[in-house]
């Protein structure tokens, strides 16, 4: 964009940034000051602290083990089938 003013370049960049964030499904911080970042971080920490206080320890432990055992069932099994000669290819390869 040779010959463009800085204002036009800024507007083109902001439009491109909006398009990229829309395509990726992400949002950028509109309040990018240090004070806004600190306030957001403190609010998130407070929310996490309150969630932990409300969580029952026994229920939490049971949920963790339930997820762990549920994931064990969904893991695919890997079985070594060994090395064999292919009828089409000369040499050895690992059979999957």
pLDDT in tens, 15-28: 998 898 888 888 77
CA-CA distance, 94 to 58, in Å (whole number)? 47
pLDDT attached to residue 45 = 94
**Of 60, 55, 56, 95, the residue nearest 78 (C-alpha):** 95
pLDDT attached to residue 27 = 77
For the chain, list residues with pLDDT below 70: 1, 29, 31, 72-96
pLDDT attached to residue 78 = 62
CA-CA distance, 1 to 15, in Å (whole number)? 15
CA-CA distance, 96 to 94, in Å (whole number)? 6
Q: pTM value?
A: 0.34
């Amino acid at each position: 964009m040779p010959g463009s003013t800085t204002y036009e370049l800024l507007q083109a960049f902001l439009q491109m940034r909006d398009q990229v964030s829309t395509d990726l499904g992400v949002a950028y911080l509109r309040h990018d000051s240090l004070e806004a970042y600190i306030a957001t971080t403190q609010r998130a920490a407070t929310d996490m602290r309150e969630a932990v206080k409300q969580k029952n320890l026994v229920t939490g432990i049971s949920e963790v083990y339930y997820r762990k055992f549920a994931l064990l069932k969904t893991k695919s099994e890997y079985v070594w089938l060994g090395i064999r000669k292919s009828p089409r290819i000369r040499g050895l390869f690992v059979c999957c």
